[in-house]
């Protein structure tokens, strides 16, 4: 009887090296698809802009009052005055000093009154 020749076992790290190499090639290609900005481009600075609530937003004050366009309003009454498109997304601008519990209660009241989605409008912090 003849003895079978032993085969050399494959190294399991070769498959891992192949996958890492393919990922490297993928990220090199994907990263070069986006064109860089022009070198002489100067972006707009928004640090000095005055923040103002969107005109259709409800404002939550630190004492729990809810206003729209400067007039006090009830969340359920406000939602009742809106059409279906207006109920789809409601914006809430909370004061920095407003209690989180008041904000959560306002969101729940708006959802209970028929609001589709409640979006909280905030200020972007400086980097």
* pLDDT tens-digit series, residues 46-90: 565 556 656 678 888 889 888 888 788 888 888 888 877 777 788
CB 60 within 8 A of CB 100: no
* pLDDT tens-digit series, residues 91-101: 888 888 888 89
CB 74 within 8 A of CB 37: no
Rounded distance between C-alpha atoms, residue 87 and residue 115, angstroms: 5
The answer on pLDDT for 1 being more than 70 is: no
Query: Dihedral of CA 95/99/102/103: which sign?
Result: positive
Model confidence, pTM: 0.55
Structural domain spans, the chain: 58-120
* Three-state secondary structure readout of the chain: CCCCCCCCCCCCHHHHHHHHHHHHHHHHHHHCCCCCCCCCCCCCCCCCCCCCCCCCCEEECCCCCEEECCEECCHHHHHHCCCHHHHHEEEEEECCCCCHHHHHHHHHHHHHCCCCEEEECCCCCCC
């Amino acid at each position: 009887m003849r003895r079978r020749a032993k085969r050399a076992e494959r190294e399991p790290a070769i498959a891992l090296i192949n996958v890492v190499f393919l990922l490297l090639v993928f990220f090199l290609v994907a990263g070069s698809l986006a064109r860089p900005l022009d070198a002489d481009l100067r972006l707009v600075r928004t640090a000095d802009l005055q923040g103002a609530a969107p005109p259709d937003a409800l404002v939550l004050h630190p004492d729990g009052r809810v206003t729209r366009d400067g007039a006090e309003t009830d969340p359920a009454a406000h939602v009742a005055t809106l059409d279906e498109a207006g109920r789809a997304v409601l914006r809430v601008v909370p004061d920095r000093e407003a209690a989180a519990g008041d904000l959560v209660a306002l969101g729940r009241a708006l959802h209970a009154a028929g609001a589709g989605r409640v979006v909280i409008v905030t200020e972007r912090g400086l980097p």
